[in-house]
Amino acid sequence: MSGIHGTDSFRLTPTQGVQLGDVRGVFADAEVADTDGVFIHLLLHVVNGKLAELEVYRDDLAPVRARISADDIAFYIHGPSEA
């Protein structure tokens, strides 16, 4: 995983794991409130059936303030026709 310069997002480079078939685009999304109440959005992107990016941004596009814990996030998984 590596940060994408100038953003709060991360490029994902899995070396093994489950192949997601023909799934591409946004596979899952979540939102959580930042410390000032503005929502942070997390979008999990898939390219060629593999995890490719965790896009992270605030509604107002300012830098994320909070340290996000996995316990604070509930992802909504998109079905194949929604991705």
Phi, psi dihedrals of residue 51, rounded to the nearest 5°: -60, 135
Give the whole-angstrom CA distance, residue 60 versus residue 40.
Answer: 9
Residue identified by tokens 């596979």 is 27
Instruction: For the chain, 83 residues long, give each residue's pLDDT as a single digit of tens.
Output: 456 656 788 888 877 777 777 777 899 999 999 999 999 999 999 988 888 899 999 999 999 999 988 888 889 988 664 44
In terms of pTM, does the model score above 0.85?
A: no
Q: Do residues 3 and 10 make contact, with C-beta atoms less than 8 angstroms apart? A: yes
